[in-house]
Chain A
Amino acid sequence: MSALAYILKRSFANTVRELIRKPVALIAYIIIALLLLTSALIVSFADNSSRGLLDPSIVKAIITGYTAFIFFVALTSSLSGSSFFRMADVNLLFTAPLKAGNILIYGFVKQLAMNFLIMAFLALQYPNWKMTFGFRDGAGWILAVSYILIVMVTSLAGMLLYSFVSKKPGRRRTANTAIYLLLAAFLLPIAINTLKTGDILKSIVMYLSDDILRYIPLLGWFREMLLGAVNGITTGVILALLLTLAVTVVTLILLYRMDTGFYEDVPAGTELKENMLRSLREGKSTAVRNRNYRRVKFRFTMEGSKAIFQKQLLEKRKTAGIWLISARTVILLAGSLVAAFTAKAGYEIILGGILAAASYMMMIFTMVGSWEGELSRHYIYLIPGSPFGKALYATLPEVIKVLVEAAVVFGITGAVLKAPLVVVLAVIAAYTAIGSVFTYSDLLVRRAFGRIHGKVLRIFFRIFLLFVIIIAVVVPASVIIGVTGNYAAGFFAAALLCMLMSLIFMLTGIGLFKNPEIQ
């Protein structure tokens, strides 16, 4: 075990040393730590007597929905083999005379360390969630412990499940079918209720907030633990925590002692993980598994830097759906339509609300752009052309992708709401401009902090940006709407201000193409 502890110790020490060598990144991390501290102080001094903005049953439904989602994702992804090892671990540790169980614990510790970073990001969102969901005092600790336990148990259970299904051909398909059947069974009551009441939103909330769901093993326990943040530490929370802990320990012992075959599957799973990490570095989706590229007939017609733009469109045609429509667009559209059919407010308020929610989602879920892939290859730097042109054409497909998403989501929702065309166009412009702010701020972050730290700091910078957008864009736009009563003018003003911000970010991040540092 000492050899494994040595790797962990040295990896940590080297990471810290590396950070000290990069003062800009170090300062950024210190600022984030200060922000975390400030948010903790705000929360502790805030008025805790007030309730959240949402109805308790909606809060319950959201937490159940979230739990079900991560549970389902964990189960399906484990079927394809997941590994928390890197190739260096496979090559050096798996061939060394070390106990397999100890290697497992080592991998596990690494996995937990990774999750602390995610927790830091979540902690920054905490004041916002506390206000929305009405979290109680000490909810942060309940959420942190629950999160760690959920990560641990889903990882371990996933490993056990994989070692079972990988033993015989056909088991994977059976397990996959079983998981989808379970999901269908879980969601069936919503469909039945909707048929009875005709109100899908009400049916969803009613079902997902039902206390009977707490009895579903693991899923119900996760939900109960997370609800502790709203309801306080009840007997139910303690029981759920103990049961989850028991399952974690039992699974760990099983994996440690039994010949699960997991170690035989690790190299393949790790290779997959390395591919996924490579894809992330290159700004692609992590869904590299079994990726099939569509064969398309294509001729380049653009020249110079524009060829980069056309090449990216070609790549997107081969990977994305029709007209750059992604799964996120479909989810956004579905959510927007539900809002359009159920919300009782004017079209301006509904479209504005969707714009805010979609922008928030974009901030969280759009982690990388395809331009990142260009930066890791030499072609873009060698091609004759101006750095501005290269920056523009390398990032333009991302902006177009957001524009297409905006056109689909707001175009259809606006039509359903019978909103005037000018308002719909203004919202489309605003959403596209907000997307370009995120794209070009990523460029700046990458330039300031480099590839590795830039990835980590990007999301924190985006949270900071959200505040900037609220102050520098939302407030002026609201004033325009308040004074003129013209929503289209307000949305167009927001778009204009965001475009200006994007331009500033682009011009400051352009050095990436002018003076690269490719190691």
Chain B
Amino acid sequence: MLTVQGVTKTYGKVLAADNVSFDVDEGEIAVLLGPNGAGKSTIIKCIAGLLRYTGSISIDNKPNKSNDSKKIFAYVPETPALYDALTVREHIEFIARAYRLKNYEGYADELLQRFDLEDKADKLGKELSKGMQQKVSICCALVIKPRVVLFDEPMIGLDPKAIKELKKLFLEMREQGSALLISTHIIDSIKEVWDKVLIMNKGRIARDALNTGEGSDAGIEEIFFEVTGGAE
């Protein structure tokens, strides 16, 4: 569903992503794990088409910057970027209109309710706390019912209930056949949900592993420290 092939990104002389290749299948949750500065956000932004890079990225066999792929993927940035003057509901309505969604209202209400935003629907973006903004950002991404979702450190700023709800949503989306790519540096945050882990270090995929069931969670931790040299 998501294919990344030989993606390289440099900032001046700094090599942020070095010939990165991987893919994420339908109904799969892949986790980009790595220490700070490993290049996780860079790769996510390349996939989202927010950075210039060399290599190729396709979503459902279409180039990531094409309109066809834009219609089916969503991105949740590390730092929520809301509009100060728009209310929570206006944010969702704006996205729905921009993506030409039909009959989205029911699902939008459900998302707002699941993230405890129902009573904040008329609050302005600037009136929300950082955690609330992150919830709105997630709702804006998910309201389009994407088939590929890119999450960049999605749990940061969320309260425990929202984290639990988000994990439930991860699993539901996997059930529905969506491909999820979640970047994080906190190993504990993705336990129980991951199918594939891609451990990044110094701009490269240093190791990947599949979740084979019992003991895998503990396994990632070991691999992580082995690959990164205890950098975390």
B90 adjacent to A314 (CB under 8 Å): yes
CA distance A254 to B207 in the complex (A): 63
B94 adjacent to A515 (CB under 8 Å): no
- Which of B71, B84, B90, B94 is the most central at the interface, judged by chain A CB atoms within 10 Å of its CB? B84
Query: A311 touches which one: B70, B73, B77, B83 (CB < 8 A)?
Result: B83
CA distance A300 to B84 in the complex (A): 17
> Which single residue of chain B is at the shortest CB-CB distance from A516?
B50
Q: Is B48 an interface residue (CB 8 A)?
A: yes
Q: Is B166 an interface residue (CB 8 A)?
A: no
Query: A378 touches which one: B48, B67, B90 (CB < 8 A)?
Result: B48
Q: Is B229 an interface residue (CB 8 A)?
A: no
Question: Which residues of chain A are near B65, meaning CB under 8 Å?
Answer: 514
> What 1/0 flags go to A292-306 for Cβ under 8 Å of B?
010000111111110
B49 adjacent to A381 (CB under 8 Å): yes
B75 adjacent to A311 (CB under 8 Å): no
> Which single residue of chain A is at the shortest CB-CB distance from B101?
A303
B94 to chain A, nearest CB (A): 5
B98 adjacent to A517 (CB under 8 Å): no
Question: Which residues of chain A are near B73, meaning CB under 8 Å?
Answer: 382
A307 adjacent to B85 (CB under 8 Å): no
CA distance A300 to B71 in the complex (A): 19
> What 1/0 flags go to B65-91 for Cβ under 8 Å of A?
101101101110100010111100010
CA distance A304 to B94 in the complex (A): 9
CA distance A225 to B77 in the complex (A): 53
A293 adjacent to B124 (CB under 8 Å): yes
A307 adjacent to B45 (CB under 8 Å): no
A303 adjacent to B51 (CB under 8 Å): no
Q: Is A10 an interface residue (CB 8 A)?
A: no
A382 adjacent to B97 (CB under 8 Å): no
> What 1/0 flags go to A305-318 for Cβ under 8 Å of B?
10110110011001
A293 to chain B, nearest CB (A): 5
Q: Is A167 an interface residue (CB 8 A)?
A: no
Restricting to B108-126, which residues have a CB under 8 Å from any CB of A? 124
> Which single residue of chain A is at the shortest CB-CB distance from B41?
A519
Question: Which residues of chain B are near A515, meaning CB under 8 Å?
Answer: 52
A281 to chain B, nearest CB (A): 12
> What 1/0 flags go to B151-178 for Cβ under 8 Å of A?
0000000000000000000000000000
B100 adjacent to A303 (CB under 8 Å): yes
> Which single residue of chain B is at the shortest CB-CB distance from A279?
B84
Question: Which residues of chain A are near B74, meaning CB under 8 Å?
Answer: 382
B98 adjacent to A307 (CB under 8 Å): yes
Q: Is A193 an interface residue (CB 8 A)?
A: no
CA distance A146 to B95 in the complex (A): 52
A319 adjacent to B95 (CB under 8 Å): no
A338 to chain B, nearest CB (A): 34
A379 adjacent to B48 (CB under 8 Å): no
Restricting to A376-396, which residues have a CB under 8 Å from any CB of B? 376-379, 381-386
B85 adjacent to A318 (CB under 8 Å): yes
A471 to chain B, nearest CB (A): 35
Q: Is A88 an interface residue (CB 8 A)?
A: no
Q: Is A344 an interface residue (CB 8 A)?
A: no
B130 to chain A, nearest CB (A): 14
Q: Is B99 an interface residue (CB 8 A)?
A: yes
Q: Is B23 an interface residue (CB 8 A)?
A: no
Query: B98 touches which one: A284, A305, A378 (CB < 8 A)?
Result: A305
A383 adjacent to B86 (CB under 8 Å): no
Given A298-B90, A311-B83: A383 in contact with B98 (beta carbons within 8 A):
yes
> What 1/0 flags go to A247-279 for Cβ under 8 Å of B?
000000000000000000000000000000000
CA distance A18 to B152 in the complex (A): 28
Q: Is A518 an interface residue (CB 8 A)?
A: yes
A449 to chain B, nearest CB (A): 16
B88 to chain A, nearest CB (A): 14
Query: B51 touches which one: A284, A301, A517 (CB < 8 A)?
Result: A517
- Which of A373, A382, A515, A516 is the most central at the interface, judged by chain B CB atoms within 10 Å of its CB? A382
Q: Is A196 an interface residue (CB 8 A)?
A: no
Question: Which residues of chain B are near A307, meaning CB under 8 Å?
Answer: 94, 97-98
Question: Which residues of chain A are near B45, meaning CB under 8 Å?
Answer: 518
B94 adjacent to A382 (CB under 8 Å): no
A300 adjacent to B85 (CB under 8 Å): no
> Which single residue of chain B is at the shortest CB-CB distance from A300?
B97
Q: Is B217 an interface residue (CB 8 A)?
A: no
Q: Is A21 an interface residue (CB 8 A)?
A: yes
CA distance A112 to B27 in the complex (A): 58
Question: Which residues of chain B are near A314, meaning CB under 8 Å?
Answer: 85-86, 90
B98 adjacent to A377 (CB under 8 Å): no
A303 adjacent to B81 (CB under 8 Å): no
Q: Is B93 an interface residue (CB 8 A)?
A: yes
Q: Is B12 an interface residue (CB 8 A)?
A: yes
Given A378-B81, A384-B71: A516 in contact with B49 (beta carbons within 8 A):
yes
Question: Which residues of chain A are near B77, meaning CB under 8 Å?
Answer: 378
> Which single residue of chain B is at the shortest CB-CB distance from A295?
B122
B31 to chain A, nearest CB (A): 21
Question: Which residues of chain A are near B67, meaning CB under 8 Å?
Answer: 384-386
> Which single residue of chain B is at the shortest CB-CB distance from A377?
B81
A315 adjacent to B98 (CB under 8 Å): no
Given A298-B90, A311-B83, A315-B83: A382 in contact with B48 (beta carbons within 8 A):
yes
Question: Which residues of chain B are near A284, meaning CB under 8 Å?
Answer: 84
B49 adjacent to A382 (CB under 8 Å): yes
CA distance A299 to B90 in the complex (A): 8
A290 to chain B, nearest CB (A): 12
Given A305-B98, A314-B90: A384 in contact with B70 (beta carbons within 8 A):
yes
Query: A379 touches which one: B84, B95, B100 (CB < 8 A)?
Result: B95
CA distance A376 to B45 in the complex (A): 13
A372 to chain B, nearest CB (A): 13
CA distance A307 to B86 in the complex (A): 13
B37 to chain A, nearest CB (A): 14
Question: Which residues of chain B are near A377, meaning CB under 8 Å?
Answer: 81, 83
CA distance A138 to B98 in the complex (A): 58
CA distance A283 to B22 in the complex (A): 38
B85 adjacent to A315 (CB under 8 Å): yes
A300 adjacent to B93 (CB under 8 Å): yes
Restricting to B161-204, which residues have a CB under 8 Å from any CB of A? none
Given contacts A300-B90, A518-B50, 4 further A-B contacts (CB under 8 A): A284-B84, A382-B73, A384-B99, A516-B50
Top 7 closest A-B pairs, CB basis? A307-B97, A307-B98, A377-B81, A384-B67, A384-B70, A300-B97, A518-B50
20 CB contacts below 8 A, A to B, read: A293-B84, A298-B90, A300-B93, A302-B97, A303-B97, A303-B100, A304-B100, A305-B98, A308-B98, A311-B86, A311-B94, A314-B86, A315-B83, A315-B85, A376-B81, A378-B50, A382-B49, A382-B75, A384-B67, A518-B51
